[in-house]
Amino acid sequence: MPMWRAYLVLGILSLVWGTSFILIKKSLEFFTPVQVACLRMSLSALAFVPVLIYNRKRMDWSRLPLLIVLGLCSSALPAILFSTAQQKISSATAGVLNSLTPLFTMIIGVLMFNVKVKWLQVIGILLGLAGAACLILMGKGGIANSPVGYALLIVLATLCYATGTNLIASKFRDMDSLLVSAGSFGTVGVPMGIYLLLGTDFIPRLAALPNPWLAMGYVATLSWVGTVLATIIFFKVIQQTSAIFGATVAYLMPIVAILWGVLDGEKIGLLHVVCMAIILLGVSLSRKPA
């Protein structure tokens, strides 16, 4: 893939995924966090089931355990963590904290996949983590006026994303990105859909909503555009470039998330902007050679 096209794709992904935080926020007005996550994953799996059936002979089923791990790290766990966290933190804050993904991608790459780093990259990692700590601990007066634990859930979600990104680059580079997506979503989305219907009050809750189509519209858009389509493209980019390059989609996502938050009435403070700048500076340095 030519680099200009790779950067164009990352820009589009930033717009799509940056919008996902406000969609999660709107979905939580109708459903519980677990229901939002399960509905998001089950709708994604629904889109991929025909792909799995049609390509069942092409699928390398020996990688099923890895596909389950990938589905958990790249999709299921982050979906639950983000939905739970955004009960208490703004969509803008969630978007900014998500920019830690490239830093954790590099850290996990070094620790688990023998990726080499330079001293300048280490400084970038430390700066990014410092910016995130500042944002999380900002306390009263900023838009991160929320329990620290909820912000840490976003940090945990970025660790999951980083693990999944490295897994794709190291274990699935030779596999069709559509099959990787179908396998990973199918393995986690189907059981989450079963739990949604049998283990929660989703059906009566949906029936009681004054505008169920609006509620489903938010989650369906989050699922089929922000998850299914975007993930297929993202996996393809990682396969043709690198895990760290793919993770740089987090550069622009905070800006998109903040703009949506402002449009939705969220207040943006100076400390928030400073912390975001520190995180993005750290991410930028982590991409530079020494």
pTM metric for this prediction: 0.79
Average pLDDT over residues 59-79: 91
The 3-class SS string of the chain reads CCHHHHHHHHHHHHHHHHHHHHHHHHHCCCCCHHHHHHHHHHHHHHHHHHHHHHCCCCCCHHHHHHHHHHHHHHHHHHHHHHHHHCCCCCHHHHHHHHHHHHHHHHHHHHHHHCCCCCHHHHHHHHHHHHHHHHHHCCCCCCCCCCCHHHHHHHHHHHHHHHHHHHHHHHHCCCCCHHHHHHHHHHHHHHHHHHHHHHHCCHHHHHHHCCCHHHHHHHHHHHHHHHHHHHHHHHHHHHHHCCHHHHHHHHHCHHHHHHHHHHHCCCCCCHHHHHHHHHHHHHHHHHCCCC
Please state the φ and ψ torsions of residue 94, each to the nearest 5 degrees: -60, -40
Span 145-168, pLDDT tens digits: 456 788 889 989 999 998 998 888
For the ranges 100-109, 145-154, 217-226, 231-240, the lowest mean pLDDT is seen at 231-240
Average pLDDT over residues 104-133: 75
Residue 218 in this model has a pLDDT that exceeds 60: yes
Span 75-92, pLDDT tens digits: 899 999 999 999 988 887
Average pLDDT over residues 220-240: 79
Domain residues for the domain of 126 are: 3-286
Residue 56 in this model has a pLDDT that exceeds 70: yes
Distance from C-alpha of 70 to C-alpha of 166, rounded to nearest angstrom: 10
Query: Which has more pLDDT, 14 or 132?
Result: 14
> How many folded domains does the chain comprise?
1
Residue 205 in this model has a pLDDT that exceeds 90: yes
pLDDT of residue 141: 39
pLDDT of residue 231: 76
Could you give the angle at which helices 212-223 and 33-54 cross, rounded to 10 degrees? 60
pLDDT of residue 144: 42
Q: How far is CA 24 from the centre of its chain?
A: 11
User: Do 226 and 20 touch, CB atoms closer than 8 A?
Assistant: yes
- Under the banding of pLDDT at 50, 70 and 90, the label for residue 41 is very high
Residue 139 in this model has a pLDDT that exceeds 50: no
Residue 31 in this model has a pLDDT that exceeds 90: yes
User: Do 106 and 121 touch, CB atoms closer than 8 A?
Assistant: yes
